[in-house]
Structure formats: C-alpha cells, structure tokens
Amino acid sequence: MTKTAWVFPGQGSQAIGMGVDLLELPGARAKFEAASTLLGWSVLDTIQSPEDKVSNTLYTQPCLYVVESLLVDVLKERGYQPDRVAGHSLGEYVALYAAGVYDFETGLGLVKRRAELMSQASDGMMAALIGFDREELMAKLEDTPDVVLANDNNAGQVVISGTPAAVDAVLAGVKAKRGVKLNVSGAFHSPLMAEAATEFQAVLAPVAFQQAQVPVLSNVDPSPSVEPQVLKDRLAQQMTGSVRWREISLQLPQEGIERVVEVGPGNVLTGLIKRTCKDLELVNVGTLAQLEAVAG
C-alpha cells in the first residue's frame, strides 16, 4: 500500500464559505453546532460572513480546526488512515487530533484559548520573503536583534517575525523577489509571544495527552514521535518557536512517505511541498467534491 501522510494547513488558508458544502455529509451539522456551543459563537455564521469575519485570528483558528477535523472524521469513517501526520502552526492541533492524542472538544478548547491570546498580541510584525539568498537572509537575521525566522516554508519562501523596526531593517537589507508585510496582529512564532505562551502553558499543562496512533512531525522538531509528553512539550514551544516546514517536507520521504494529502481548505501546503520534494504524489481534500474524488 502507498505510504501516506496527512498534512493540515494553518492560518492563511481560510476562505469565506469554507466547509459549508460539507453540511451534506451525515453528522456534519451536529459537529458544527457542538463546536458553536463550546465556542459561544456560530461557526457557520462566521464562516459565511461576507465581511470576512473568518479572517480575524480570533475566529480563523477555531473555524479551521472544526472544518479540518470534520474532514478527518469523514476520511477515517471511509476507511482511510495516515501513516504520518503534520500540521502548519494551527494545523498541528488538527494533526494531534487526527493521531488520537486528544478528542475533538479538548483540541477545540486549546485552539479557542490560543486564538484569544494570539489575537490580543498587538506588538510586533510579520513579513513574507519570496526569492532570496538564504545565506544573506540568515546573516542579516543574525545581525539584527528582535527578529527571527518564524516560518521556514521552503527554500524560496519564508516568514520573518519581530518588532516593526527589526522586520523593516531585514526587508531593507536583504534582496528578495518579493517582500510582503502580513496582516496579522502580532509577531507570531517569535520570542515576542513569550507572555502569551506563558498564559497558554497554564491552559495546556493539565490537559491529558494520549500516545499518538501514528507518528507526528512537529513544527519545532520535525522528527516523528508518538510519545505524549514529547508531543505536549513540542506544542508548548510552538507559539514562540519557528515552524520548520521545509524540514518537515524533507523528512517525509525519509519516512517512506510516497503520497501527501493536504486535509483542509486551499492548497498552500501541497504548493510548498511540491517545491521541496518533487517526487511525492500530492492530493488536496478540502471540499466535498475533492473528498468524493478521493473516495472514488
């Protein structure tokens, strides 16, 4: 059988109306309603809001978690199982759910608090760089205080995170095909998130993690693990640590993975992986039509 990894996208993959077509599936509406009860606001109303409410960090992360976990449930009900799982930032929470580390409600509770803390982080800035010299960038980051490599997505695309002055200094000092400041509330995946991370740790600490049913490749450490405490420790480091997606992508073939299924809206992760590992078969499952195509 083809050895398969499921990967889960994070913030930035959301879209107005995502997941609404899944309401045709048995049990989908009940899951949306259960999530809304736990969150205290309507997931379906938020997703369908024409004002793009779903792109507000406070709502983006729980909505993505709900839609992606619903897709996980349907895939498993139809007999599919991954051999490895990984998620990009918020997506790691869905990866842990898919691996059986905690139940749906537990994961959603963690994501709800994470989103609240991150939406309140008003200090700092993030910017994406595309088409650059990696040695030049790393040298500039080394020489510039208060800015770090937040997302190492692939060889030609990264995100930096830090104070506005430090991010501006790197953008001005590194030649890149494109540099874009991101519309986010704070310097995610950087030491500037330390206060939020400390608050989140108090929420995470009492939560019981189970041994993963399949190995998980974590953002801060791409080596696969099934150990509950290891996975929990890695998740605790995630808010201030870098998303090492390029290394996760490179690790997949080392694990014998031949096929990668991006479970969630859009195709961000398959696009990133394609540039890193050209021989992997890439599949997207984010809509009802894509789900039925895989099942067929």
Catalytically active residues, by annotation: 89, 189
Taking the C-alpha atoms of residue 59 and residue 51, their distance in angstroms, rounded to an integer, is 13
**252: its two tokens:** 């997949």
The backbone region for 89, taken as left when phi is positive above 0, alpha when psi lies in -120 to 50, beta otherwise, is left
Structure-block tokens of residue 45: 């109303």
Q: Which residues of 64-86 are buried (b: 16+ CB within 10 A; e: fewer)?
A: bbbbbbbbbbbbeeeebebbbbb
216 contacts: CB under 8 Å, gap ≥ 6: 84, 85, 86, 92, 95, 96, 99, 101, 224, 225, 226, 231
82: left (phi over 0), alpha (psi -120 to 50) or beta: beta
Residue 104 exposure: Cα atoms within 13 Å on the Cβ side? 20
Name 116's Cβ contacts closer than 8 Å, sequence gap at least 6: 58
